[in-house]
Structure formats: structure tokens, C-alpha cells
Amino acid sequence: MAKSMAAGVRNPDIVDLVTYSPKTDEFIVIMFEDRPWSDSPDQLDELLAKINTYVDFVQEGGLVRKFPQAEGKTVRIQLDCTSSPKGEPAKLIEQAQQLLHQRGITFALNIIVST
């Protein structure tokens, strides 16, 4: 049986979504996490792997190869999730934000509230 290529942190090998914001003139590379946050080693490993996939995609030229118009544009990596991370996931996200900031990449957290 073939493994599903569903989007999300649980599948760290793919980039979930790339979009462009004309308002901010930046490309946004978005990852999704629809599971509740926990200190589960599996979820933390997946999140770290997903972040690394996105950083490689941006810094190794994958974004510009796929979207040539991204050349020279600001890039934001964004994590869309349904609740605020706490505990170990929050620490990992904070570390990623600091490290990526040093590389000129914004890492944003976007809490999606369902109605």
C-alpha cells in the first residue's frame, strides 16, 4: 500500500503550501499542524524535521527554482496550527524563530481559530 502524501507536520518531507502576499511583498511557506500539541518525542521530531525541510527548501534554492518570481523577495516560514503550543513544542518554535532570524528568515506562528 502506498504511503499517503498528506500535508502537515506529520509528513516532514513535503512543503505544504507556498503563497505570495502582495501586501507585504513576501513569499510565505506554510506548514500545518492539526493535531493537539504534546511533548511527544514523535511530534517534536516531526516538527524539527519539517522546519529543517522548509529551511533547506528556502536556502538551497528550491523555492526560487519552483517560483522564479521569489528571487530577491522576503521569505516567511509560517506554522499554522489550531492551538498555541506549550511546553517542548513552544521551546522548539522559539529556538527556530531565533535561529532563522539570524539567517534573515521570519518564522511566524499562526493560530487558526475554527468557528
In tens digits, what is the pLDDT along the chain, a chain of 115 residues? 344 457 899 999 999 999 999 999 999 999 999 999 999 999 999 999 999 999 999 999 999 999 999 999 999 999 999 999 999 999 999 999 999 999 889 999 999 987 6
| Residue 28 cell numbers, joined | 510565505
- CA dist., res. 50 & res. 42, Å (int): 12
pTM of the full structure: 0.90
Neighbours of 77 (CB within 10 A): 23
